[in-house]
């Protein structure tokens, strides 16, 4: 990395008609002055937090790594990966498996409370009306800390169309089941499932939906509006920075083209998935990959540092014939210890993990500062439900991935021998990215084992 006497601002934007194009971290943004260079080095270690939610628990036999230690809690090398986690093999040194966590405030067990408690660790008020009440979610606590430094304080994503009216599960308002993020106890933040709308929020200059649609009609591509300005800007840069800008611009262009192709294919799909927004890729995996790639671009351009993503919805009836599970997920999740159903749950779990693993590999391959995008991020992946047949909230499937700017060592399995609040883990991750707090929700300590040396 080189330092520049007349450094560009980290918030440099290229503007066109309706476009505000953020840039990745460039050498030209690193000042030569020693004190400023140290500040810039901190900037190159941007600490990002991401959360990915999977519904309806897991098959623990196919998820949980082997474990021989008797020390409570154990802190062991991850070793060989079980069936469900095998897609993580290429990045397992950046992944920690955490078992033995629970969400006490998610009881009595339900799909609604599983989703609602995952990031809040709070007890949802039982109501079918609009007087719902929960708690501020951990991502929004982080968003308040980092939000003033980025274009978007946070990004809330999902995969399904959502019905926010009425009762969705056992007397609980749909708001609990549909929204992972809450900015206040009474303010759920809707998630966006349409890639075009997310893309516009990342790279568009704003305006009302009507104004944005009119701008889109005037141009075939959002990026066309900034291409000329991009060429002028690149003349100020060194060869390394020009290549980095070209790579980023090409990545954004590829995502935009995939969105355009999905929209063009709508006419060829006479029987759309009712849970899938019109104009998204027909295949679930392609849609998920697009949503993950949008997260990568948002982090790479420092457009936001906080993301939550509902990879599938609680009580979803989505089927996965592409992996040999043609039955709807929800009925399969009520397995009654049936071996065939448990095997299908493991296949669904592995499919979801494989999409997350692809995303982690892309982050690991994206240079930033003195490391990679993954080195400077933390992701929490998991579910608010353990045994889906019992609707319990103990022994949750939880993964932590990333390097947290050198603050985290992966390649391990941490097992708690007795139920431990997931809030402990939330609190620890907040502290490790610089959001200092003494407690969160029902925490009774921290998950400091994640950041201690491996057991020998």
For residue 418, being part of any structural domain is answered with: yes
Helix/strand/coil for 54: coil
Half-sphere exposure (Cβ direction) of 413: Cα atoms closer than 13 Å: 21
Q: Do residues 310 and 405 both lie within one domain? A: yes
Helix, strand, or coil (residue 17): coil
Pick the closest to residue 323 from 281, 357, 351 (CA basis).
351
Tell me whether residue 18 is in a domain. Answer: yes
Same domain as 313, residue 269: no
Query: Do both 66 and 38 map to the same domain?
Result: no
The whole-angstrom separation of Cα 433 and Cα 408 is 10
Q: Please indicate, yes or no, if residue 291 is contained in any of the structural domains.
A: no
Whether 301 maps to a domain, the answer reads no
Q: Which has the closest alpha carbon to 57: 8, 137, 5, 115? A: 115
Q: Calculate the CA dihedral of residues 280, 281, 286, 289 and round it to 10 degrees.
A: -20
Q: How far is CA 274 from CA 158, 163, 270, 318, 333, in A?
A: 15, 12, 12, 10, 21
Exposed e or buried b for every residue in 293-323, given b needs 16+ CB within 10 A? Answer: bbbbbbbbbbbbbbbbbbbbbbbbebbbeee
How many domains are there within the chain? 2
Determine phi and psi for 218, rounding to 5 degrees.
Answer: -80, -15
The CATH number linked to 351 is 3.40.720
pLDDT exceeds cutoff 90 at 78: no
Answer whether 168's CB lies under 8 Å from 196's CB.
no
Element (H or E) spanning 342, and its range? Answer: helix 339-364
Choose the most confident range, by mean pLDDT, from 102-116, 193-207, 343-357, 364-378. Answer: 343-357
- How many Cβ atoms from other residues are within 10 Å of residue 367's Cβ? 15
Give the pLDDT mean for 188-216: 76
Select the more confidently predicted residue: 79 or 132: 132
Residue 289 maps to a domain: no
Assess whether 139 and 59 both reside in one domain.
yes
**pLDDT, mean over the chain:** 86
Q: Note the pLDDT of residue 147.
A: 87
> Once rounded to an integer, what is the mean pLDDT over residues 151-157?
95
The pairing of beta strand 319-320 with beta strand 306-310: unpaired
Looking at per-residue pLDDT, the higher value among 183 and 271 belongs to 183
In a domain, 151, yes or no: no
What pLDDT does 29 receive? 81
Which domain covers residue 28, as residue numbers? 1-44+195-279
For residue 381, pLDDT over 50 is answered with yes
Answer yes or no: is 296 within a domain.
no
Q: Are residues 444 and 325 in the same domain?
A: yes
User: What pLDDT digit, counting tens, does each position of 228-253 carry?
Assistant: 888 888 888 888 899 988 998 898 88
Over residues 19-43, the mean pLDDT reads 66
Q: What is the pLDDT of residue 171?
A: 86
Task: Return the pLDDT at 39.
Answer: 46
Q: Is 295 contained in some domain?
A: no
Structure tokens at 325: 């599970």
* pLDDT of residue 262 exceeding 60: yes
Residue 166 has pLDDT above 60, yes or no: no
Q: What is the pLDDT of residue 236?
A: 86
Please indicate, yes or no, whether residues 268 and 375 belong to a single structural domain of this protein.
Answer: no
What per-residue confidence (pLDDT) applies to 440? 97
Residue 59 sits in the same domain as residue 185: yes
Residue 193 clears pLDDT 70, i.e. is over it? yes
pLDDT digits over 312-322, tens only?
A: 999 999 999 99
Percentage of the residues of the chain whose pLDDT score is greater than 70: 84
Residue 227: its H or E element:
helix 224-234
Task: Categorise residue 336: left if φ over 0, alpha if ψ from -120 to 50, beta otherwise.
Answer: left
Query: Does pLDDT of 271 surpass 60?
Result: no
What tens digit of pLDDT does each residue of 54-74 get? Answer: 999 999 999 999 864 555 677
Checking DSSP bridges between strand 95-102 and strand 412-421, what pairing results, if any? parallel
Instruction: Examine the fold and report which residue of 261, 279, 297 is the final residue of a domain before the chain moves on.
Output: 279
């Amino acid at each position: 990395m080189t330092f520049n006497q007349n450094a560009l601002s980290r918030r440099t934007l290229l503007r066109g008609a309706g476009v505000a194009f953020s840039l990745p971290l460039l050498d030209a943004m690193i000042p030569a002055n020693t004190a400023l260079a140290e500040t810039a080095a901190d900037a190159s270690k941007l600490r990002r937090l991401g959360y990915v939610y999977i519904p309806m628990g897991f098959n623990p036999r196919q998820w949980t790594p082997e474990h021989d230690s008797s020390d409570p809690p154990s802190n062991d090398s991850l070793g060989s990966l079980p069936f469900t986690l095998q897609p993580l093999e290429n990045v397992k040194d950046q992944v920690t498996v955490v078992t033995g966590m629970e969400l006490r405030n998610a009881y009595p067990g339900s799909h609604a409370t599983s989703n609602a408690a995952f990031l809040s660790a709070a007890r949802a008020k039982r109501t079918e009306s609009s007087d719902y009440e929960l708690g501020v979610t951990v991502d929004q606590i982080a968003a308040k800390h980092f939000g003033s430094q980025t274009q978007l304080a946070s990004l809330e994503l999902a995969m399904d169309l959502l019905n926010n009216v009425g009762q969705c599960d056992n007397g609980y308002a749909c708001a609990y089941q549909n929204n992972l993020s809450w900015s206040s106890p009474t303010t759920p933040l809707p998630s966006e499932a349409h890639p075009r709308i997310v893309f516009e929020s990342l790279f568009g200059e704003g305006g009302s939906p009507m104004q944005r649609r009119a701008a889109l009609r005037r141009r075939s591509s959002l990026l066309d509006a900034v291409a000329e300005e991009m060429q002028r800007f690149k003349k100020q840069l060194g060869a390394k920075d020009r290549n980095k800008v070209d790579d980023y611009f090409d990545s954004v262009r590829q995502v935009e083209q995939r969105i355009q192709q999905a929209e063009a294919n709508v006419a060829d799909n006479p029987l759309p998935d009712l849970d899938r927004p019109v104009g998204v890729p027909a295949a679930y995996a392609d849609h998920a990959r697009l949503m993950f790639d949008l997260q990568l671009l948002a982090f790479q351009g420092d457009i936001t540092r906080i993301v939550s993503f509902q990879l599938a919805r609680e009580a979803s009836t989505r089927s996965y014939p592409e992996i040999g599970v043609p039955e709807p997920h929800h009925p399969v999740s009520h397995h009654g210890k049936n071996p065939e159903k448990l095997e299908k749950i493991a296949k669904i779990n592995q499919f979801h993990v494989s999409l997350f693993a692809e995303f982690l590999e892309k982050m690991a391959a994206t240079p930033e500062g003195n490391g990679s995008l993954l080195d400077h991020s933390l992701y929490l992946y998991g579910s608010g439900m353990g045994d889906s047949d019992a609707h319990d909230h103990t022994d949750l499937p939880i993964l932590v991935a990333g390097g947290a700017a050198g603050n985290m060592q992966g390649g391990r399995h941490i097992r708690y021998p007795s139920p431990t609040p997931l809030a402990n883990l939330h609190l620890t991750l907040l502290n490790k990215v610089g959001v200092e707090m003494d407690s969160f929700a029902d925490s009774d300590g921290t998950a400091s084992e994640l950041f201690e040396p491996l057991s020998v």
